[in-house]
Amino acid sequence: MTVTPDSRLLVLEVTISFWPSLKTSVPPLIVPPLSVQEPVVLKAFRDGEDAALHHYGWVDQGSQVVRLPIDRAKDLRIERGLPVRPAAAEAAPAATK
């Protein structure tokens, strides 16, 4: 008697059908969706970032909170300086003595 690959497959199928506990469930292969418009999506994303960084806009119009361009925010920070805690200002002269 010769054994062919097809006859081995038949034996395997018969064995699995007789012992249902041998059946294993294979989870379906989850493949992320393919983006075929990647350059368009990336350009829109970068345009949104550019608008947020370089243009004025409302963060919350009801509360009167605005967004400043990054260059203007840096200029204001330089003009006004960094905030200093009162405790830190008092401790600095004591440490130099």
Task: Please indicate, yes or no, if residue 21 is contained in any of the structural domains.
Answer: no
Q: What is the pLDDT of residue 10?
A: 46
Task: Please indicate, yes or no, if residue 77 is contained in any of the structural domains.
Answer: yes
What is each CA distance from 74 to 5, 45, 55, 65, 77, in whole angstroms?
74, 24, 14, 18, 5
Q: What is the pLDDT of residue 74?
A: 94
pTM for the complete prediction?
0.45
Q: What is the per-residue pLDDT across 73-83, written as a single tens digit (0 to 9) for each? A: 999 999 999 88
User: What residues make up the domain containing 57?
Assistant: 52-82
Q: What is the per-residue pLDDT across 19-62, written as a single tens digit (0 to 9) for each? A: 555 556 667 778 778 878 899 999 999 999 999 999 999 999 99
Task: Please indicate, yes or no, if residue 91 is contained in any of the structural domains.
Answer: no
Domain count, the chain: 1
Task: Please indicate, yes or no, if residue 6 is contained in any of the structural domains.
Answer: no
Task: Please indicate, yes or no, if residue 78 is contained in any of the structural domains.
Answer: yes
